[in-house]
Structure 1
């Protein structure tokens, strides 16, 4: 099977409209436990003229042993990067789409702390829906692009950076709740994870509003 190689074709086009592109991608949306994370990276014209880091792909297409080193290279390639978070409790309270928007706004706030003016950028968002603006962002030029994390190198960089950050967090949370095997499944619905939920109930890090079959009440 041929693996798509992300390029900078779209970013170079967008950079003729604005001085920077901020690419965003989420990870953890479909998990049963843990936060959702949104990676955000800034790309300017100078970096867009350079070479894409070797091996850069959508995080789902990168073998786990290679992701951490690739995330370091990706972070060094872009101007600045950030990861924003929304907790499982926030997902329960406001729903996944609004939580994604909140996590993105937090990532953008981190970029702002590094001097990035998001209103001067085109925000390239992986997917077919702008979940940033409904969460309260104002004055942003958000461009949703289906499969941006596959086709656009900047979005692939955001994907890998966010994936490594979230996986690292889930490994740390595994030490608190080892029965769920988060070090292996990262909070997703593996058979061992579901069996632990049936046996032990939901931890404080689970998304209690999500449909988890046969789950006892929280402990």
Structure 2
């Protein structure tokens, strides 16, 4: 037990491997660690456009919403309903990494930066942070990286849900300025609709210049103009 506690306290990466990966997230990690725990997750590593959004959530142990799960496993309707419950019953904050930071730092480090900002923006300090994935962002509290954490911890699952809703809302607003890309439907991911629009009209100022499809299109445009 002392060894396990030391792993938690000194913020080591620890993979909570489960035999049944299909099991739903629960509050076991939070209960075992004790104290004020927040879960943090990010959304938007894969899209060709838009920022990365992270969320940090401190759930009320006496009022944990039912049916929390990885946001990707939920329908849009269920995701929105859970989002509304989470923001009404939990403490939470968001963090963002801009397009410029994504292009300058790379998507991994920009994602970690967004996570750091989300935790820093929480209304109070926490005793421990549960981070989705296998990398830890810079934090002022002990932390544990949990591989597939949004399928194991309800705190991380809650963070994944509100981060997804936040980013989808942002992309729908950007779509009003650039309706040709269909961002209100694809959230900036490289769908057929999005790629066809890129081939016709080229990238916008909201596209990630460091991502290969966008970088290649910009190189082609520069070659044509030379």
- 2:94 matched to 1:83? yes
Q: What's the TM-score once normalised by structure 2's chain length?
A: 0.82
CA distance in 1 between partners of 2:109 and 2:25 (Å): 28
Local SS of the residue matching 1:52: coil
C-alpha deviation, 1:3, in angstroms: 5.3
Distance 1:102 1:129 in 2: 12
CA RMSD of aligned residues (A): 1.8
The runs of at least 4 consecutive aligned structure 1 residues that moved more than 3 Å come to none
Which whole-Å CA distance do the structure 2 matches of 1:75 and 1:156 have between them?
13
Q: For 2:163 and 2:172, how far apart are their aligned partners in 1?
A: 14
Among 120, 134, 148, the residue aligned to 1:109: 120
Counterpart-to-counterpart distance in 1, 2:89 and 2:211: 37
Shift of 1:67: 1.5
Match of 2:32 in 1: 13
Matches of 2:198 and 2:37, distance apart in 1: 41
1:31 corresponds to: 47
- State which structure, 1 or 2, has the greater radius of gyration over its C-alpha atoms: 2
TM-score, with structure 1 as normaliser: 0.85
Which sections of structure 2, spanning at least 5 residues, go unmatched?
Answer: 1-20
Partner of residue 56, structure 2: 40
SS of 2:54's equivalent in the other structure is: strand
